[in-house]
Structure 1
């Protein structure tokens, strides 16, 4: 399977690399991850990251590593996640601390939404967000999504934001 490379004005979205895991493990060892999947040990982070990466081979979609086009620096991850406990494919993201507040997650998520729209025949994709994660909820809504309480999340109380793909241009 060939993982596509997506380009935005400032980013390159590409296949995950083993070096990305160090950033991932650092993020998920920090309190910043509490509203993402929760803090986890390095071994649990490895298992989760490796299973996310394997989604590409198993389902034809998954996470992209995000690199700054100008510097080549890794700035985070964005993509479609679909673990066994997820009710459907979910658009998710995170950025490393030094990349926060620069709009990278929004820029990358828009590119992924456009890629999903032309690649898959899905009526929508969701964000499944911890209700305490105000920044991610705000981003999901800025991306044009709407909160849909009829769609299931992963954990009780999750905020589920639906992004309709049929009319997206």
Structure 2
């Protein structure tokens, strides 16, 4: 059973900014990008592809974490254009909050997920005082594993969502 974090919940996402990016509360029109991702073979590492109905339920439940739990996904904009999502996720069955990311096709390899993830880690440390946050990554998702390690995470022997997950732990005390 998920435990409600012992902190004040945010009714919506705060706005975070980096040198190039704005991280903001997801909007309804962002769903079109998630739908395209979930319909594609790129979603295989997330358990996809998914039908539009399934994709909507995933998107809506993730966005709904903001008022319920005080964290959730940030939509990521570059020059006013949506390029992906980076945030903290903890649906039922997750052992702890997870740092996760996805970028739209064409935005990969540009450092967007890395830059946004660093901003989210600093925010999580300041907002919640957490010492660490994990990634739960399918062992076949080499690009996400490489990104988790580039962000300074280390592979640890800890439970993930699936028994085969690679769990990468980030020390948030170093991110602040």
TM tier, shorter chain?
over 0.9
2:122 aligns with 114
- Counterpart contact for 2:118–2:175, Cα < 8 Å: no
2:94 aligns with 86
Displacement of 1:166 after TM fit?
Answer: 2.5
Alpha-carbon displacement from aligned partner over 1:25-63 (angstroms, at most 9, x marks no partner): 110110011013321111000001100000001000000
Which of 89, 92, 96 is the equivalent residue of 2:104? Answer: 96
Gaps of 5+ in 1: none
Alpha-carbon displacement from aligned partner over 1:87-132 (angstroms, at most 9, x marks no partner): 1100000000121111100000000001001111212100000000
* SS of residue paired to 1:47: helix
TM-score scaled by length of structure 1:
0.95
Q: For the residues of structure 1 that align with 2:48 and 2:160, how far apart are their CA atoms? A: 16
Q: For the residues of structure 1 that align with 2:172 and 2:110, how far apart are their CA atoms? A: 25
Which of 143, 150, 154 is the equivalent residue of 1:146? Answer: 154
Which of 20, 34, 37 is the equivalent residue of 2:44? Answer: 34
Displacement of 1:167 after TM fit?
Answer: 3.5
| 1:166 is aligned to 2:176 | no
Gaps of 5+ in 2: 1-10
- Counterpart contact for 2:98–2:134, Cα < 8 Å: yes
Q: For the residues of structure 1 that align with 2:66 and 2:82, how far apart are their CA atoms? A: 20
| 1:48 is aligned to 2:23 | no
Aligned positions, number = 166
TM-score scaled by length of structure 2:
0.91
Q: For the residues of structure 2 that align with 1:37 and 1:110, how far apart are their CA atoms? A: 25
Displacement of 1:2 after TM fit?
Answer: 4.0
* SS of residue paired to 2:46: coil
* SS of residue paired to 1:101: coil
